Amino acid sequence: MNIKLTVLSGAILASFSTVALSQPPYAPSMYDPGPTSLQLQDLNLSAAERAGYALAEGVLQTAEAAILAKNSCSALAGSYQIKDFYASGFVNDPSSNTVTVLSPGGAFTIQATLDPLDTFRGQTLKLASAATGGQLGTVGVNSFANNVSFNAAGTIMVAEGTILAKGVNLGYDLFQLKIIKDFYRDNVVLSPTSTVPVIYDWGLQTVSKLGYPVNKYWQRSKSLRDDGFLGYTHFVKDRLVGSSSCHLDLYTTGSNNADFFSQSGTLTISTDIPAKFDPNANYPTNQTITKGTDPLNN
């Protein structure tokens, strides 16, 4: 009898322990009061900013597909130059909304074709790679196409697309890319008497092969508009599910205003793990920073 009671007590305690350990992780603190409203913040995103953010996503998604095609993050580790990163926000004019990434193996270019803004619903645009395709490191990439949508307030962006990337068997494989992210605004202190609004975002993404999900990424970004000093855009992604750790970092500086987006910088790929980066440092509130610097990864 004592043995049975001991076993039963152990089972009950184990069940309590399991319940305690099985609690899901909390959402970011900004959601503590509940879901945010679509109109909670009117970010006043310009068409140029929408195109610029979408093009940055296109660069990172191309890199993610190339990494999966190579089945190795370390094989593509390194820094690649981002040039001709320009967005006018003009509708139906892909040549004025474009970005190019240079690598030792070649280059690839992505362009954005914007549809007219619907002030009630939002704005859509299409991303596409150059007709000739391209290269990231040793991986050929081709036929990138992505449909992107922003809600009217500019607080939610979704994108869904496909790309061909040359795999380890020397054939081009088809990959599917899906992402959802939400933007919000907070103030960062530049000096004891000066604060500026900074646009942040959090999101998740999947990369699938032949229609089946293979990788999952956590993504976040921070963007500072130029206002008498240099603006910058910083997108960071970490692979949460996949064959190995992989960290993507896009950092560009330059102009970012209501009239146009024009920046340059680097795309860096590394095998760093997410735990290396303190989330409290990644998304500071009223943290003092130096003009032209970005504490996203400090």
Give me 226's structure tokens. 């130029």
Give CA angle at 231 (230, 235), nearest 5°.
140
Place of tokens 């970490």: 238
pLDDT surpasses 70 at 294:
no
The residues facing 166 across adjacent strands are: 172
Average of per-residue pLDDT across 159-171: 92
Integer angstrom CA distances of residue 126 from 94, 114, 154, 212: 9, 7, 16, 23
φ and ψ at 171, to 5 degrees?
A: -110, 160
Q: Would you call 216 helix, strand, or coil by DSSP?
A: strand
Residue-wise pLDDT for 8-66, tens only, equals 444 444 444 444 444 555 555 666 766 666 555 678 889 999 999 999 999 999 999 99
Percent of the chain's residues with pLDDT above 90: 55
Percent of the chain's residues with pLDDT above 70: 76
pLDDT of residue 27: 56
Give CA angle at 109 (258, 221), nearest 5°.
50
Q: Would you call 115 helix, strand, or coil by DSSP?
A: coil
Name the burial class of residue 246, with classes exposed (0-12), middle (13-18) and buried (19+) by CB atoms within 10 angstroms of its CB. Answer: buried
In the chain, where the domains are located: 36-297
